[in-house]
Structure 1
């Protein structure tokens, strides 16, 4: 028996996962595995967005320190005013970390990266054995 293939819509898209759906489930992973993968991805995105928020805050502080108007800041950064508005309103999901680094460099700022181990990472479980000797 031949397998049936759904016809694509006008955009050529065969399937769209709804906003409340789980793309990993749609790809055939079990419910529990899909839930874990989705939670991991959401956590990683939140971490990246927090990094971008810290960077954008530094960028905003520098703009303020220099007393730049929105137009002046947009010119220094070589971006449009609407793009600057997205940045100053912390719409960090619209930008990559690399892009924000580039903007900071255009403002004459440097980015330093500090690598630290999370307190929960790398902990070893220590097994103890009861002595059988009296």
Structure 2
């Protein structure tokens, strides 16, 4: 059965921001602020990706050292086999840092955070 939108909800797309466009400029910030916000945003995103990659590398090494099949690792880590494949293939967009930390804890590799 197909769900329909109520007649009074406007779903028309009026503007699409391009991938290379500074979203902060689009939101009306001054050019200087927009550049600064974009730079800060990129740094935070890059830092989060680096953390995810590091956590994924730890999990991948743990799997390799124990010579586990992906299905065996999945059982130990309480996730599905495709999730293990995503870890091994470094598909960072599919995981939160919390999920990776939980998986490492289940592997007996608790994560310690050091603030520098």
Whether these two folds match at TM > 0.5 is yes
Aligned-pair CA distance for 1:93: 2.7
C-alpha RMSD of the superposition: 1.6
Distance (Å, rounded) in 1 between the aligned partners of 2:17 and 2:81: 34
Distance (Å, rounded) in 1 between the aligned partners of 2:16 and 2:81: 33
Distance (Å, rounded) in 2 between the aligned partners of 1:79 and 1:88: 13
Structure 1 segments of 4+ aligned residues over 2 angstroms from their partners: 13-16
Gaps of 5+ in 1: 1-6, 117-134
Output the TM-score relative to the length of structure 1: 0.71
Mapping 1:47-126, distance limit 5 Å: 47-116=47-116
Gaps of 5+ in 2: 1-9
Structure having the larger proportion of residues in helix: 2
The alignment of Structure 1 onto Structure 2 pairs a total of residues equal to 107
Distance (Å, rounded) in 2 between the aligned partners of 1:51 and 1:65: 21
Q: Which has the higher contact order (CA 8 A, sep 6+)?
A: 2
